[in-house]
């Protein structure tokens, strides 16, 4: 009997300290001066201020029933860096459905993530601007209240900022207040990647069957040179790409509806709501193999975001936003 009780107790402890299977991705510290610990209930590593952007990669429940998150701490809204990894009680972090809900559109890159909710409000991770700052700029979190209904969100290729387009055809940037003509506001030029300097478009870029096309330049350490990677989506749902090795890895992709390209991988959203990913650099690409019911995708260099039919987000990979001039250890 004692042995059975001991086994039952051990099973209960394993249950209490079990990890979740779902990555919650980006969130924010929601309280002031919160302790980040080495382990669940362990020694204090540091204390994080409110509005520090974190990446949540794991969760555990302690013996008292409290939920804890394993996080990488990154960029604060005042652009201060907090380069720490540890555990924090979940009560002190807004993440998951608490902030990523009712989403209708999204955009992401290495500098930030922005989503549009069904009520016209926006939510960000990465580099939000304190609202209002000395120049009078408004945080993306408060755009809907100041500029009217937002109908589009994005991240332009020229820097670490966000932009929106309102129903009045106003283009608003998080670092520059810009008002442009109606035609420009509706154009896709702000989401088109720049062609790497000194590179040419592939011969197939003018193919009439292409639905979408992306090109990016990355640094190749082995060759000590810039490498141009390009991917195209045909109208029949198949892919074409350069270099040849990437093209070969995409040969079996079928029924693709949307593609996104980062400097580490290409991800494709299939018409059935599942996703495929092929890495061309890096040893630990995001795992999107279990995604379902996804209707839109976005990505950075080492993470992916998927928008589900129910308006919530799926995250894969491991990323933390840091300020300019900072390299994570």
Peptide bond preceding 118: is omega within 30 degrees of 0, i.e. cis? no
Q: Is the model's pLDDT at 12 over the cut of 60?
A: no
Given a cut of 80, whether residue 59 has pLDDT beyond it is yes
Which of 281, 297, 175, 166 has the alpha carbon at shortest distance from 227? 281
Sign for the CA dihedral angle at 158, 161, 165, 169 comes to negative
Residue 172 pLDDT: 78
pLDDT in tens, 244-261: 999 999 999 999 999 999
Residue with tokens 């810039």: 226
Cα 235 to Cα 71: distance, rounded to the nearest angstrom = 41
Residue 77 has pLDDT above 90, yes or no: no
Tell me what the mean pLDDT of segment 152-161 comes to: 76
Provide the pLDDT for residue 15: 40
Quick one: pLDDT at residue 271?
97
Residues sharing a CB contact under 8 Å with residue 79, sequence separation 6 or more, in sequence order: 127, 323, 324
Mean pLDDT (the chain, rounded): 82
Burial class (CB in 10 A: 0-12, 13-18, 19+), 213: buried
Q: What distance in Å separates the CA atoms of residue 305 and residue 102, rounded to the nearest whole number?
A: 15
The reported pLDDT for the residue numbered 137 is 66
pLDDT value for 115: 94
3-state secondary structure of 312: coil
How many Å apart are CA 255 and CA 50, to the nearest integer? 44
What does the pLDDT average to over 109-133? 81
Least confident of 34-48, 58-72, 163-177: 163-177
Handedness of CA 82, 88, 89, 94 (dihedral sign): positive
Compute the distance between CA of residue 103 and CA of residue 121 in angstroms, rounded to an integer.
9
Task: Give dist(CA 174, CA 111) in Å, integer.
Answer: 13
- For the segment 269-290, what is each residue's pLDDT rounded down to a tens digit? 999 999 999 998 777 899 999 9
The domains located in the chain, with CATH, are 2-96 (2.30.30), 100-191 (no CATH), 203-317 (2.130.10.30)
Q: Is residue 30 a contact partner of residue 93, using CB atoms and an 8 Å limit? A: yes
| DSSP state at residue 301 | S
175 CB contacts (<8 Å, ≥6 apart)? Answer: 129, 137, 159, 161
Residue 194 binned pLDDT confidence (cut-offs 50, 70, 90): low
- Which range in 12-21, 124-133, 181-190, 249-258 is most confidently predicted, on average pLDDT? 249-258
Q: What are the tens digits of pLDDT across the range 290-309?
A: 999 999 999 998 999 999 99
Contact indicator for 231, 246 with CB cutoff of 8 Å: yes
């Amino acid at each position: 009997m004692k042995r059975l009780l001991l086994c039952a107790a051990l099973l209960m402890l394993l249950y209490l300290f079990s990890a979740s299977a779902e990555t919650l991705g980006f969130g924010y510290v929601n309280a002031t001066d919160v302790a980040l610990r080495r382990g669940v209930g362990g020694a204090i590593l540091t204390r994080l201020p409110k509005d520090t952007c974190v990446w949540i990669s794991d969760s555990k429940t302690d013996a008292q029933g409290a939920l804890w998150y394993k996080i990488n701490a990154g960029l604060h809204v005042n652009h201060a860096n907090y380069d720490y990894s540890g555990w924090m009680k979940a009560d002190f972090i807004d993440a998951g459905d608490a902030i990523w809900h009712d989403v209708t559109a999204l955009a992401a890159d290495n500098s930030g993530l922005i989503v549009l909710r069904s009520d016209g409000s926006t939510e960000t991770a990465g580099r939000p601007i304190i609202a209002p700052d000395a120049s009078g700029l408004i945080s993306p979190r408060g755009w809907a209240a100041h500029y009217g209904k937002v109908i589009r969100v994005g991240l332009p290729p020229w820097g670490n900022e966000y932009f929106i387009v309102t129903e009045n055809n106003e283009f608003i940037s998080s670092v520059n207040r810009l008002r442009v003509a109606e035609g420009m506001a509706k154009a896709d030029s702000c989401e088109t990647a720049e062609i790497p300097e000194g590179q040419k478009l592939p011969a197939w870029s003018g193919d009439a069957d292409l639905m979408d096309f992306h090109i990016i330049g990355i640094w190749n350490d082995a060759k000590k040179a810039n490498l141009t990677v390009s991917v195209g989506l045909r109208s029949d749902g198949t892919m074409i790409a350069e270099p040849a090795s990437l093209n070969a890895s995409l040969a079996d992709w079928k029924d693709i509806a949307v593609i996104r390209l980062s400097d580490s991988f290409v991800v494709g959203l299939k018409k059935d709501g599942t996703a495929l990913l092929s890495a061309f650099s890096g040893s630990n690409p995001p795992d999107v193999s279990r995604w379902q019911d996804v209707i839109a995708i976005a990505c950075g260099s080492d993470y992916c975001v998927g928008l589900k039919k129910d308006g919530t987000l799926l995250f894969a990979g491991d990323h933390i936003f840091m300020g300019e001039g900072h390299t994570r250890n």
